[in-house]
């Protein structure tokens, strides 16, 4: 009996081996046929020189090209080499959002000698913990029927539902409420997911006027009032231009215009929606100010506008016109976006070359507002690549009243800078409508990360302020920052961008 069992086992084993060998031979045969087929195709096609000259092998070029950016990110790039955000910047946000230790050891890896780098001016007498105070609540829109009492100096910039996913919007909404900051809707309209968390909302009106447009695409007062009726909606921001694409409207492909998106944005289902390059009814400074004042009058809530600055002359004309009309007609805030790109997909010609970066535009706008006596009345909001405490503290030193960030909060949600925002393949579920990928983003968990990110930013901005000798961040001034010049020596920011007419602290 034992001999029979052994014979059966041996026969079965040999049968499996034979099947394996046959399968292997078949697989090799199919592989050789596939390689031969690709060889013939490559040799006979005329579109790609590399594949024609190096058949089959030349195809690996496309694979390596596709994988290159991922290998560079994880294996080859140094901590502070990548663009638009390096590993050091991203890692700080990840740690802050997770609530883990954000300290570092053994010295800075930042090249503090590079031209344009900043130092904060430490004082021999830092602020004691007993003297430190929280930043004051700031009133925006004192002439509006319902002024906004803004609690947080760091807030969430515009990201539309549609551009980012349901769970991402939900996480941001709940996180913003817990952190006490506001959330900007982006130009895609007000969705139920913005409202569900109970956060303060800034409603953005883009050139297509999604969510507040009539059947002809013009601004609808009726829909404006309907949006303003939500108690959570605190302000309205008219978007003139954004960092990703100054002077270019957005394109929403037909495939993305679902029934839900159609209802939220007020556009036909299944039809591509192309936003105008500007608001058709705004072709001058008076027209811009008229629109802002009209929105404030209709809604009863503060209204301002967002732009990328392209030149200084325009700001002079704007400020003079505001003064001539009277401060009660002034925009309640101006958001200055940096020209070095944002979350939106855009042509590289605009993203790389159009408009001024925040490092130049923010002090210029702050100066113009001060020069014309508008600095207290018109609040200044800085937006554009400000995701770490030092960058946010710099903006406060320059003259910003508030800072907003989009990509910083994307990192807090788990973004890995995979450069898939303009596709439907975001691996973290943030910018995709693929339900399989969205499952990886847990809104409850990510809301906590949003809260911790805001709280850690505010704490560490406070640490910088106290090291400079002031009790709270909004008391930071330009004299508290020095900038490395071409000589290798630093120069005070108050010398590079002196305040006009008045002393700095007035």
CATH code (residue 155) = 3.20.20.70
The reported pLDDT for the residue numbered 284 is: 95
Residues 186 and 68 in one domain: no
Counting DSSP H helices and E strands in the chain, the numbers are 17, 15
Residues 69 and 183 in one domain: no
DSSP alpha helices (H): ranges in 266-346? 285-299, 312-325
Q: Is residue 208 part of a domain?
A: yes
Residues 146 and 288 in one domain: yes
Cβ-based neighbours of 249, under 8 Å, separated by 6 or more: 206, 207, 208, 274, 275, 276, 277, 278
Residues 48 and 163 in one domain: no
Task: For residues 474 and 482, give the distance between their C-alpha atoms in angstroms, rounded to a whole number.
Answer: 18
How many domains would you assign to the chain?
A: 2
DSSP alpha helices (H): ranges in 305-442? 312-325, 348-353, 358-371, 389-398, 407-413, 435-438
460, 453 contact by CB (below 8 A) = no
Q: Is residue 365 part of a domain?
A: yes
Helix (H, G, I), strand (E, B) or coil at 498: coil
Q: Using one digit for the tens of pLDDT, what is the confidence trace for 41-56?
A: 888 887 777 777 778 8
Helix, strand, coil shares, percent, the chain, to 5: 45, 10, 45
Helix (H, G, I), strand (E, B) or coil at 482: strand
Contacts 24+ apart (CB under 8 A), 310-315: 310/246, 310/354, 310/355, 310/356, 311/356, 312/364, 312/368, 314/285, 315/364, 315/365, 315/368
Residues of the chain with pLDDT under 50: 506
Helix (H, G, I), strand (E, B) or coil at 141: coil
Residues 23 and 155 in one domain: no
The reported pLDDT for the residue numbered 346 is: 67
366, 375 contact by CB (below 8 A) = yes
Domain ends where: 50, 76, 102?
76
Report the predicted TM-score, pTM, of the whole model to 2 decimal places: 0.86
Task: For residues 434 and 427, give the distance between their C-alpha atoms in angstroms, rounded to a whole number.
Answer: 10
Domain ends where: 32, 60, 76?
76
Q: Is residue 502 part of a domain?
A: no
CA 272, 278, 281 angle in degrees (round to 5)?
Answer: 110
H or E element in which residue 149 lies? strand 148-150
Q: Is residue 118 part of a domain?
A: no
The reported pLDDT for the residue numbered 215 is: 85
Q: Is residue 241 part of a domain?
A: yes
User: Two tokens at 14?
Assistant: 């040999």
Residues 278 and 412 in one domain: yes
**How does 4-15 read in b/e, with b if 16+ C-beta sit within 10 Å?**
eeeeeeeeeeee
The reported pLDDT for the residue numbered 4 is: 56
Which residues constitute the domain of residue 19?
Answer: 2-76
Cβ-based neighbours of 457, under 8 Å, separated by 6 or more: 96, 154, 388, 389, 392
Residues 149 and 256 in one domain: yes
Residues 36 and 166 in one domain: no
DSSP bridge pairs for 238? 205, 305
Q: Is residue 422 part of a domain?
A: yes
The reported pLDDT for the residue numbered 77 is: 58
Residues in the chain: 506
Q: Say whether the peptide bond before residue 371 is cis (omega within 30 degrees of 0).
A: no
The reported pLDDT for the residue numbered 506 is: 47
User: Two tokens at 502?
Assistant: 């008045």
Q: Using one digit for the tens of pLDDT, what is the confidence trace for 453-499?
A: 999 999 999 999 999 999 999 999 999 999 999 888 999 999 999 99
Residues 347 and 241 in one domain: yes
Task: For residues 397 and 493, give the distance between their C-alpha atoms in angstroms, rounded to a whole number.
Answer: 9
Task: For residues 402 and 381, give the distance between their C-alpha atoms in angstroms, rounded to a whole number.
Answer: 5
Cβ-based neighbours of 133, under 8 Å, separated by 6 or more: 471, 472
Residues 62 and 144 in one domain: no
Q: Is residue 221 part of a domain?
A: yes
Q: Using one digit for the tens of pLDDT, what is the confidence trace for 66-97?
A: 665 566 665 555 555 566 766 777 788 888 88
The reported pLDDT for the residue numbered 484 is: 92
Residues 174 and 283 in one domain: yes
280, 259 contact by CB (below 8 A) = no
Domain ends where: 56, 76, 96?
76
483, 493 contact by CB (below 8 A) = yes
246, 355 contact by CB (below 8 A) = yes
Q: Is residue 19 part of a domain?
A: yes
Residues 59 and 175 in one domain: no
Q: Say whether the peptide bond before residue 208 is cis (omega within 30 degrees of 0).
A: no
Residue 468 φ then ψ, to 5°: -85, -10
């Amino acid at each position: 009996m034992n001999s029979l069992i052994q014979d059966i086992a041996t026969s079965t084993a040999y049968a499996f081996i034979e099947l394996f060998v046959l399968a292997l031979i078949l697989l090799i045969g199919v592989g050789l046929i596939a390689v031969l087929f690709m060889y013939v195709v490559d040799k006979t096609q005329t579109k790609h020189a590399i594949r024609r000259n190096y058949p089959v092998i030349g195809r690996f070029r496309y694979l390596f090209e596709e994988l290159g950016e991922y290998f560079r990110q994880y294996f080859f790039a140094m901590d502070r080499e990548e663009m638009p955000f390096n590993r050091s910047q991203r890692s700080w946000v990840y740690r802050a959002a997770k609530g883990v230790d954000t300290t570092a050891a053994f010295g800075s890896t930042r090249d503090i000698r590079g031209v344009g780098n900043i130092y904060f001016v430490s004082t021999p007498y830092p602020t004691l913990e007993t003297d430190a105070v929280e930043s004051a609540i700031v009133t925006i829109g004192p002439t509006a029927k319902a002024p906004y009492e803004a609690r947080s100096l760091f807030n969430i910039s515009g990201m539309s539902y549609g551009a980012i996913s349901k769970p991402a919007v939900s996480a941001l909404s709940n996180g913003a409420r817990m952190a006490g900051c506001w959330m900007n809707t982006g130009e895609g309209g007000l969705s139920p997911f913005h409202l569900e968390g109970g956060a303060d909302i800034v409603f953005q009106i883009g050139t297509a006027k999604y969510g507040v447009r009539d059947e002809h695409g013009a601004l609808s007062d009726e829909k404006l009032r309907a949006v303003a009726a939500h108690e959570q909606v605190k302000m309205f921001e008219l978007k003139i231009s954004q960092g990703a694409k100054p002077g270019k409207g957005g394109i929403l492909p037909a495939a993305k215009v679902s029934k839900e998106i159609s209802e939220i944005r007020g556009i036909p289902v299944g039809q591509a929606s192309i936003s105008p390059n500007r608001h058709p009814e705004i072709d001058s400074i008076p027209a811009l100010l008229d629109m802002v004042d009209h929105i404030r009058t209709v809604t009863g809530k503060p209204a301002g506008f967002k732009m990328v600055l392209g030149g200084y002359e325009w700001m002079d004309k704007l400020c003079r016109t505001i003064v001539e009309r009277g401060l009660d007609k002034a925009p309640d805030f101006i958001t200055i976006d940096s020209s070095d790109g944002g979350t939106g997909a855009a042509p590289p010609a605009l993203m790389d070359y159009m408009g001024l970066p925040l490092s130049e535009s923010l002090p210029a706008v702050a100066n113009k507002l001060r020069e014309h006596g508008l600095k207290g009345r018109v609040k200044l909001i800085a937006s554009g690549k400000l995701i770490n405490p030092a960058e946010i503290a710099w903006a406060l030193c320059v003259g910003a009243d508030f800072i907003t960030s989009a990509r910083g909060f994307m990192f807090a949600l788990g973004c890995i800078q995979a450069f898939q925002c303009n596709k439907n393949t975001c691996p973290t579920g943030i910018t995709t409508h693929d339900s399989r990928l969205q499952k990886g983003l847990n809104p409850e968990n990510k809301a906590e990360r949003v809260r911790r990110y805001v709280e850690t930013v505010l704490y560490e901005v406070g640490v910088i302020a106290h090291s400079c000798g002031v009790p709270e961040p909004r008391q930071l001034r330009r004299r508290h920052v020095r900038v490395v010049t071409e000589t290798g020596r630093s120069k005070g920011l108050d010398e590079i961008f002196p305040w006009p007419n008045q002393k700095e602290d007035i």
